Amino acid sequence: MITPRTVARALTNVRDRVIEGPLADLRRMPRVAIDTGPADPEAWAVGRAHGLARAGQVSTYRYAVHPTARLRGAPVLLVSPLGACGVAFDLRRGCSLVEHLVGEGRHVHQVDDEDVVGHDAPIPASPADLARWVSDILPHVVRTVSAHHDGAPVHVVGWSIGGLAALLAAADEPGLPIASVTAIATPFALDVVPERVPVRPLALAAGGPVLATTQALLGLLPTPPGVPELLSAGSVGSLLTTPLTVLAHLADRDFLAQLEAVDDLRAVVGAQAGLVGASFHAMVDGRELATGRVQVAGHEIDLGGLERPVLLVAGEDDTVVPPRAVRAGTTVLTSADASLMTAPGGHLGVLCGRASRSRLWPALCAFLDRHDPPAPIDSGLPSRRPRRAARRPLPAVEKAPAEQPSTPDEGPAATRGRRPRPAPKRATRTRGRD
């Protein structure tokens, strides 16, 4: 409903966008690199798209702690998918999982494979990429983060392919210091995961049923021969419905800021975002994943033997990894203390959508709290209450004679030279007298 108040807010948003710039606060949470490894000496011999040779080096970051929050719990390690930077974990101020965890008093770390991000042409994945993450990168990073916190176990939170790599690494090395594993939008049934899914603008995803239905119908219309893809019915429909959606939310400043932040993320990732489903099919065999016995680097990893607490998260509107593909994990992780939940959003929105602030993130923090190790006792205090010493009877004391000497010279040596104590004064009553 259009009211004078909504019109005023819409005009304010337009003025601020034109005069002051973007509405989204895209400042990233402060962090510092604590490790750049492990390096792969044979990576330079592997050719990539456009002649790009990967150095095989990843970066592990540690975010600054909150200045006023009370630090608690085990450290958290965020694992981004192959070829997608970790900006999704820290999308924008006010809608950032990193900001939320830091505000809860958590020590937050993140590992990124940034050398395949930001290129025009997508870089396909291979089984060797998954094997290196499972066998080399994640074990090294988990031990590094644990060493920075005096050997404390680490909560590993992976998104998409990062969740699959985290689960396989935890199952491959039971001795890793891992407190729990959270896999967000990670499939276990690849038969329902399409290799390519057209990327929809955020405005279309949140435009309501009318615009969403219109866009879906226009996308089904065939493109006549000889007509460029830019002039197809689906592309023209996207160009027409997107402005209408933005116009309908012009008074919603948070929606406009989210739109800008997602567009910025897609500009960073580039065409790599369209290869999520294809990467799953290229890195792992769907039949092996459905049974829980996956061949990685020449040996078999049994996901059914994983005994760590696991949280599986499915996006209600995820077209890349449908909820059915995530629910299949409950039959694969038979030995783990596995929990399953669904949250609003698609493949990206389930992690960093606006609804995640009230649905996924509080549930994730509650899961981490339940599986935190026992809190250590402050240094300098005893580990337990000391036992009280047994009381022994005091030695008997001889009483002094009751008769006191009349003069100091006649008394005992203990009372000689002492001034006799004066007799107590008699109390007098003065109240009531004139």
**DSSP string for residues in 378-430:** PTTS-SSPPPPPPP-PPPP-PPPPSPPPSSTTTS-TTTTTPPPPPPPPPP---
Instruction: Using the CB atoms, write b or e for 351-378: b if 16+ within 10 Å.
Output: bbbbebeebbbebbbebbeebbeeeeee
* Assigned domain for 393 exists: no
**pLDDT confidence band for 165 (50 / 70 / 90):** very high
333 residue type, one letter: L
Pick the last residue of a domain from 370, 389, 424. Answer: 370
Question: Which two structure tokens, joined as six digits, stand for 355?
Answer: 């609804």
186 residue type, one letter: T
Model confidence over 274-316: pLDDT tens digits? 778 888 999 999 999 999 999 998 899 999 999 999 999 999 9
Q: Which residues pair with 137 in a beta bridge?
A: none
Global pTM value:
0.75
Do 106 and 69 reside in the same domain of the chain? yes
Whether the pLDDT of residue 236 is over 60: the answer is no
Pick the last residue of a domain from 344, 370, 396. Answer: 370
Number of domains in the chain: 2
Whether the pLDDT of residue 248 is over 90: the answer is no
Do 164 and 301 reside in the same domain of the chain? yes
Mean pLDDT, range 147-167, rounded to an integer: 95
User: How far apart, in whole angstroms, are the C-alpha atoms of residue 255 and residue 262?
Assistant: 11
Mean pLDDT, range 142-162, rounded to an integer: 95
Do 276 and 193 reside in the same domain of the chain? yes
* Assigned domain for 71 exists: yes
* Assigned domain for 188 exists: yes
Mean pLDDT, range 395-399, rounded to an integer: 51
Q: How many residues does the chain have?
A: 434
Least confident window among 40-54, 261-275, 356-370: 40-54
Do 244 and 288 reside in the same domain of the chain? no
For residue 47, the model assigns a pLDDT of: 38
For residue 80, the model assigns a pLDDT of: 86
Whether the pLDDT of residue 186 is over 70: the answer is yes
User: How far apart, in whole angstroms, are the C-alpha atoms of residue 386 and residue 372?
Assistant: 28
Question: Which two structure tokens, joined as six digits, stand for 227?
Answer: 């007509």
Please indicate whether residue 4 or residue 281 has the higher confidence score (pLDDT). Answer: 281
Exposure of 43 by Cβ count < 10 A (0-12 exposed, 13-18 middle, 19+ buried)? middle
64 residue type, one letter: A
Share of the chain above pLDDT 70, in %: 66
Q: Count CB atoms within 10 A of the CB of residue 212.
A: 16
Q: Which residues pair with 60 in a beta bridge?
A: 35, 111
For residue 279, the model assigns a pLDDT of: 87
* Assigned domain for 379 exists: no
Give the ranges where 104-226 is alpha helix by DSSP (H): 127-132, 138-147, 161-172, 202-205, 209-220
Q: Which residues pair with 47 in a beta bridge?
A: 53
Whether the pLDDT of residue 229 is over 50: the answer is no
For residue 335, the model assigns a pLDDT of: 86
Residue 306: partners with Cβ closer than 8 Å, 6 or more residues away:
167, 170, 171, 181, 333, 335, 336
Q: Which residues pair with 61 in a beta bridge?
A: 33, 110
Do 79 and 154 reside in the same domain of the chain? yes
* Assigned domain for 241 exists: yes
Whether the pLDDT of residue 86 is over 80: the answer is no
* Assigned domain for 426 exists: no
What does residue 247 show for φ and ψ, rounded to 5 degrees? Answer: -65, -35
Least confident window among 18-32, 255-269, 285-299: 255-269
**pLDDT confidence band for 256 (50 / 70 / 90):** confident
For residue 330, the model assigns a pLDDT of: 92
Do 145 and 223 reside in the same domain of the chain? no
Do 141 and 232 reside in the same domain of the chain? no
Do 105 and 184 reside in the same domain of the chain? yes
CATH number of the structural domain spanning residue 83: 3.40.50.1820
Whether the pLDDT of residue 48 is over 50: the answer is no
Do 238 and 268 reside in the same domain of the chain? no
Please indicate whether residue 212 or residue 113 has the higher confidence score (pLDDT). Answer: 113
Please indicate whether residue 237 or residue 404 has the higher confidence score (pLDDT). Answer: 404
Do 342 and 275 reside in the same domain of the chain? yes
Share of the chain above pLDDT 90, in %: 42
Using alpha carbons only, give the angle 403, 406, 407 rounded to the nearest 5 degrees: 130
Whether the pLDDT of residue 44 is over 90: the answer is no
Angle between helices 253-269 and 4-19 (to 10 degrees): 40
Please indicate whether residue 396 or residue 139 has the higher confidence score (pLDDT). Answer: 139
Pick the last residue of a domain from 327, 348, 370. Answer: 370
Please indicate whether residue 15 or residue 63 has the higher confidence score (pLDDT). Answer: 63
Range of the domain at 272: 25-200+261-370
Do 131 and 97 reside in the same domain of the chain? yes
* Assigned domain for 288 exists: yes
Give the residue from 352, 414, 406 showing the smallest Cα distance to 99. 352
Whether the pLDDT of residue 429 is over 80: the answer is no
* Assigned domain for 77 exists: yes
Do 180 and 276 reside in the same domain of the chain? yes
